[in-house]
Amino acid sequence: MGIEFSTFKANENNFWAESLIMRKKILVFKFMKHIPLLLSVALLTTQNSYAKNIDVPLQCVAFSPYVNELTPNYGAKPNAEIIETLLDALIKQTSFRCIMSYGVLNGLEAIFPAAKKRGIKVIAILWIDKDKRVNTDSIAHGIALAREYPETIVRLSCGSEVRTRNNYEFDNETERCLNALREAKVQQPIGVIDTWWEWCNRSQLCHENQFSKQVDWIGINIFPWWENRHADLFPCVNANEAADFHLARWQEVKKVNPTKEVIITEFGWVSAPEGKGQINLKTQQECGVASQKNQQFVIQSTFKKLAEKKVSAVAFEAFSENWKANNEEGDFGRFWGLCDSTPPYTCHISLKP
């Protein structure tokens, strides 16, 4: 009896042991079935976390609605209808979903609701110049728009090329703008835009300028085309060298401002007059050729090179502006746009930023 009981007990233990093993196998099998789903959820969670915590470089295009016969110097202002038409043409024909705008007054305030409606992000420049009263209006409107469109406006700049246009005469106006935005506690990063030369403090050995410690980000404009016209430091940069030139100037400014975000806020190449070259005023050397092919190459190669370094940049510009034919830019001034200045506002190159 004792032997039979012991045998029974042993058999019972074996049964429960085998049963437990079988249950574990079933549980493992069921778990294994769900591994792909769990991995997918984990991957999605990781991607979402990455997207929230890693700043993706901005790839934007400069946007000015002074098309057709419009000019910022006099006459009619851009209205909401033309701004919406241009933005629709831009998003239909290109991949840009980020623009940089040049002011918040005189009809340009319509850019922000139109951009919000279309899911377009905006780097907003508060235009600073000689008229202090207008500057005050720009600052006040800029603060109000920054508060009204916090998800649309992603950066604010106190002016663009104020020093390039006016030397140091209106530095106090730029500082007044920076101080006002700080006091208003706007949530967007605050910066100043000027040429790379001004951000190097007009020195071949680049070093900080007086705004370096006052800004969250730095905007540098780089145009080999105009270097080819006016500079003796870099008198000849061809289209196939432009991307490397842009990156090199960015690296110089970044090196002396290592804690600041540095964005290339304007770069580009003229598309016409087709085949015409730029002549350096100092060397009389002809260098650089205007063409749609060169324009497309410069913009695409620059975006590609900068993306590898996670550098944000703004191509100049979305739409050509006919009024610029009558300013100091001469024949080339109205051929910076990727898209026509007249209806139906055709974009001649398909960019994939």
pLDDT in tens, 91-115: 999 999 999 999 999 999 999 999 9
How high is the pLDDT of residue 36? Answer: 36
State the Cα–Cα distance between residues 160 and 177, nearest whole angstrom.
12
Q: pLDDT for 112-143, tens place per residue?
A: 999 999 999 999 999 999 999 999 999 999 99
For residue 327, what pLDDT is reported?
77
Residues facing residue 105 across a β-bridge? none
pLDDT at 87: 98
Strand partners, 123: 100, 155
Residue 3 has pLDDT above 60, yes or no: no
Domain definitions of the chain by residue range: 1-54, 58-335
Cα dist from 287 to 136, 243, 284, 294, whole Å: 42, 16, 9, 13
* Mean pLDDT calculated for residue range 34-40: 36
The pLDDT > 70 percentage for the chain reads 83
Alpha-carbon torsion, ordered 101, 103, 109, 110, to 10 deg: -40
Give yes or no for a contact between 90 and 347, defined as CB atoms under 8 angstroms apart. yes
- Nearest-angstrom CA–CA distance, 290 and 335: 9
What is the separation of C-alpha 212 from the centre of its chain, rounded to a whole number of angstroms? Answer: 20
Mean pLDDT over 196-219 rounds to 96
Which amino acid is it at 35?
Answer: I
- Residue range 299-317: mean pLDDT, rounded: 97
pLDDT beyond 90 at 75: yes
Give 44-97 as a DSSP string. Answer: HHHHHHHHHHSPPPPEEEEE----TT-BTTBSPPP-HHHHHHHHHHHHHHS---
- The crossing angle, in degrees rounded to 10, of helices 242-256 and 292-308 is 40
Q: What three-state secondary structure class fits 337?
A: coil
Residue 54 — very low, low, confident or very high, per pLDDT cuts 50/70/90? very low
What pLDDT score was predicted for residue 322? 94
Structure tokens that stand for 187 in this block: 């949530």
Q: How far apart are CA 312 and CA 321, in angstroms?
A: 24
281 within 8 A of 231, measured Cβ to Cβ: no
Domain 58-335 has CATH 3.20.20.450: no
SS (H, E, C) 153-210: EEEEEEEECHHHHHCCCCHHHHHHHHHHHHHHCCCCCEEEEEEHHHHCCCCCCCCCCC
Omega before 57 cis (within 30°)?
Answer: no
Give the pairing type, strands 286-289 and 313-315: unpaired
